[in-house]
Structure 1
Amino acid sequence: MSPASPAVPPRRALVTGASRGLGLEFVRQLLARGDHVIATCRRPEAASGLAALASAYPDRLRVLALAVDDERSRATLPAALRDAEAAGDRVG
């Protein structure tokens, strides 16, 4: 019998391109293991998979609009992360 492994504290993650495909799966996997996630995508209002996860994990998932190929959009990310941290969604 192997000794029980120590509990791993929840981690914090930022996932870009989280509305579908690998990004959405990364979000699912991170949430399933107890982590806190800030998920970004171009159009959160059209991201039904993220909306479902946000309903299931309201205390651990925050969804933000971000287009990584748009300089103005990227410029908003630091303030959004500070706001998330102030709200208790610490990302690191």
Structure 2
Amino acid sequence: MAMIAMMMPILPGKKDTWLAMMAQMTGDNKAEADAIRTGAGLHERSFLQETPAGDFVILTFEGDDPAAGFAKMMADLPPEFAEGAMD
């Protein structure tokens, strides 16, 4: 099994938006989010890293082909999952 990891900044003032999106994906929409990950062949973990230089999200994806799985997962995300991330 292979793994990829990435770290992305959370733009200033957007941490609450990110937290709300994560709550949505682990709350009311958990089954749908899990199905998207499973369909992409991925096991995902996400971590919030708060630093003096700003907030970051650290993501890890494990699977047979995590790069292809990540691309499939992003293509399969419904608009309501991505809307909050783009506001």
| Greater fraction strand | 2
Give the number of the structure with larger relative contact order, counting CA–CA contacts within 8 Å between residues 6 or more apart: 2
Query: Is the TM-score greater than 0.5?
Result: no
| Greater fraction helix | 2
TM-score (norm 2): 0.30
TM-score (norm 1): 0.29
